[in-house]
Amino acid sequence: MITMGNAAPIMFGCLVVIMLIGFPVAFSLAALGIGFGYLSVALGFFPETFMANLPLRIFGIISNELLLAIPFFTFMGAILERCGLAEDLLEGTGQLFGGVAGGLGFAVIIVGAILGAITGTVAASVIAMGVISLPIMMRYGYDMRFATGVIAASGTITQLIPPSLVLVILADQLGRSVGDMYRAAIGPSMLQVAIFMAYTAALAVLVPKRMPALPAEARTVHGWKLWRQVLWGMVPSVVLIFLVLGTIFMGIATPTEAGALGAVGAIILAALHRRLSWTLVRQAMESTMRLSAMVMFILIGSTVFSLVFQGVDGNVWVEHMLSNLPGGPVGFLIAVNLFVFFLAFFLDFFEIAFIIVPLLAPVADKVLQPLLPPGAPPEAAVIWFGIILCVNMQTSFMHPPFGFALFYLRGIADQIFKNKTIPRPILSKDIYLGSIPWVVMQLMLVGVVIAWPGSVTYWLGAAEKIDLDKASETLRQMGGAATRGGATTLPGASAPAAAPEADPMEEIRRQMQQDADKKK
């Protein structure tokens, strides 16, 4: 029989079974939560009023200002992925690096990192780079396993490189500031690019015939004209990245506003490239609506599940199980990473972030603090943990046969063969085998980030070293805003106990103050 003691494990078991049925996740989760909730009420585990918390939680989700960043960042990416930026970037960098062995590989990695930062969707990066680079790579005799591997892997950097939607969601779930998550991800994403580059360079030296240099007649643009093309593709996007990140890091705007400003920037950038059209904006709006509604409903479903799961002491059960793992903190990290790696075969990032991460985070907070490098603030433990998981979950796009990036690439390869852009089909076997070295490299990065927490905390600490003039300037402005805004928001702030939700202006100021405080 179900007792309070075994309710949590039973509920978790049901979760696995129900998810595998294949009915939409959001409603399966909610159904499990609600079914178990009313069962628990009937069995007397918690009072019926407990269920009345559900709509309040849902209201909490929709009134969460940070989650507004989801549509804004998605909208920004949706515009940029449609405005031909990928083509311009790849064309230029391909010509620039084409002359050396492996040059197209380097071009794909660099462009993948830039596209990843600004568009934020793996699918967009992989599809764009596949369509453009695969035919060229095939024409000039690149090994197809290398070609498909490098494209898929460079597309998945998107997950980790700031400003990434994934990090916003992790920040929300881990209860840390988005600015901190972004700072923490700088080191690992640079490492990831470096590892990919080093591997490509090593292969280019050892087996140049797998990735030959382009012949002279393929490189049609030279000199100043080439540089102009490269810069024209790259500079506006890099400026946009720094505007979005900079306004967050310097505490000028909240992450949500930075996303909205980024979307405005994206529209301007599309106009600069003469590709802005009403159709483009409408398509971007619609795909943003689809993604936002989907993600928010997964979040609603997970919230229903989590509320009831906590009601039957599920969090206590998980914590008990995880803190008794052999091997102390390192054992915990290894076990959790294996678990998430395995889950990522079946679940998307969003499901893992909304269901699993909140269960793991409190344990990680306790267990991991002793492993931090000296001088790092204790709240960095959870941030470090989040980044490790983020790197880990990148692999879910890459491992055969379910990996998403491989799946997109498969689709692209068929499509360009059908319209005769490439002379022969690309075998699934090549796509699968080609991905393996890159998955191994991603796992190596998981190992590096675990073994070297400094790679995450370095940039967290670096925020304090930002030059003092700028910091005090920002602080003065913040102070001004605070006193000015204070007058208008005082009534709300004076009765915090009566206020069921935080004053949004207050909230923004708090977030910005947090970021500004780092610079003191």
Partner 1 sequence: MQGLTGRFVETVDWVSERLSRIASWCVLVSCAISAGNAMIRYGFNIGSNAWLELQWYLFAVTVFFGAPFLLKVNEHVRVDVLYVLRTGRGKAMTDLLGLIFFFMPVCLAMIHLSINIVTDSWHVQEMSSSAGGLIRWPVKALIPIGFVLLAIQGVVEIIKRVAFLRGTYDMDTHYEKPLQ
- By CB under 8 A, what part of segment 456-495 binds partner 1? 480-481, 484-485, 488-492, 495
Q: Which residues 6+ apart lie within 8 Å of 471 measured at CB?
A: 516, 519, 520
The verdict on 239 binding partner 1 (CB under 8 A) reads no
Give the residue with the Cβ less far from partner 1, 17 or 216: 17
Considering the complex, what minimum distance in angstroms separates the CB of residue 80 from partner 1?
A: 14
How far is the C-alpha of 184 from the C-alpha of 187, rounded, in Å? Answer: 7
* 494 burial level (CB within 10 Å; 0-12, 13-18, 19+): exposed
- Which of residues 88, 143, 503, 515 is near partner 1 by CB under 8 A? 503
Task: Tell me how far apart the 2 most distant CA atoms of the chain are, in Å.
Answer: 79
| Site track 48-87 with partner 1 (rule: CB under 8 A), x = hit | ---xx-xxx-xx--xxxx-xx--xx--x------------
Are residues 176 and 60 in contact, defined by beta-carbon separation less than 8 angstroms? no
Q: Which is nearer to partner 1, 234 or 478 (CB)?
A: 478
What Å distances lie between residue 477 and 257, 411, 484, CA to CA? 17, 51, 10
Q: What is the CA radius of gyration of the chain?
A: 24
For the record, the structure tokens of 210 come out as 């797998």
Kindly state whether residue 402 participates in binding partner 1, applying the rule CB under 8 A: yes
Nearest to 146 by CA among 404, 435, 410, 422: 435
The least distance separating partner 1 from the CB of residue 372, rounded to whole angstroms, comes to 32
Say whether residue 339 binds partner 1 (CB under 8 A). no
275, with CB counted inside 10 A (0-12, 13-18, 19+), is middle
Instruction: Compare residues 317 and 404 and give the one whose CB is closer to partner 1.
Output: 404
Alpha-carbon gap, residue 294 to 296, rounded angstroms? 6
Q: Does 172 bind partner 1 (CB under 8 A)?
A: no
Among 285, 325, 334, 371, binds partner 1 (CB under 8 A): 285
By the rule CB under 8 A, 139 interacts with partner 1:
no
**Interaction of residue 10 with partner 1, rule CB under 8 A:** no
Residue 463 is given by DSSP the state G
Which is nearest to 254 in space by CA: 461, 460, 388, 73?
A: 73
242 lines the binding site for partner 1 (CB under 8 A): no
**According to the binding rule CB under 8 A, does residue 354 interact with partner 1?**
no
44 binds partner 1 (CB under 8 A): no
Window 293 to 312, contacts with partner 1 (CB under 8 A): 293-294, 296-298, 304
In this chain, which stretch among 100-108, 172-180, 284-292, 414-422 interacts with partner 1, using CB under 8 A?
284-292
Length of the chain: 520
Binding range to partner 1, per CB under 8 A, among 25-33, 104-112, 191-199, 308-316: 25-33
**215, 271, 272, 286: which one binds partner 1 (CB under 8 A):** 286
Residue from the set 309, 404, 432, 438 that interacts with partner 1 by CB under 8 A: 404
Query: Which of 7, 11, 28, 94 forms a contact with partner 1 (CB under 8 A)?
Result: 28
Q: State the angle between helix axes of 85-97 and 103-119 in degrees (0 to 180), rounded to the nearest 10.
A: 150
> Per CB under 8 A, does 379 bind partner 1?
no
- 441 Cβ contact partners less than 8 Å away, ≥ 6 residues apart: 153, 195, 196, 199
Query: Least distance (Å) from partner 1 to the CB of residue 9?
Result: 20
> Considering the rule CB under 8 A, would residue 361 count as an interface residue with partner 1?
no
CA angle 130, 135, 141 (to 5 degrees): 120
Per CB under 8 A, contacts with partner 1 among 212-231 are none
Residue type present at position 410: R
State which of positions 410-429 bind partner 1 (CB under 8 A): none
| CA–CA separation, 105 and 336 (whole Å) | 33
Q: How far is the CB of 4 from partner 1 (least distance, A)?
A: 22
Among 93, 119, 229, 256, binds partner 1 (CB under 8 A): 256
Amino acid sitting at position 420: K
Cβ closer to partner 1: 468 or 490? 490
Beta carbon nearer to partner 1, 62 or 207 = 62
Among 22, 44, 223, 374, indicate the residue that binds partner 1 (CB under 8 A): 22
Question: Quick one: DSSP state of residue 425?
Answer: P
Please name the residue that has the structure tokens 């940039």: 459
Task: Give the binding-site size for partner 1 (rule: CB under 8 A).
Answer: 92
DSSP per-residue letters across 403-458: -HHHHHHHHHHHHHHHTTSSSSPPPHHHHHHHHHHHHHHHHHHHHHHHH-THHHHH
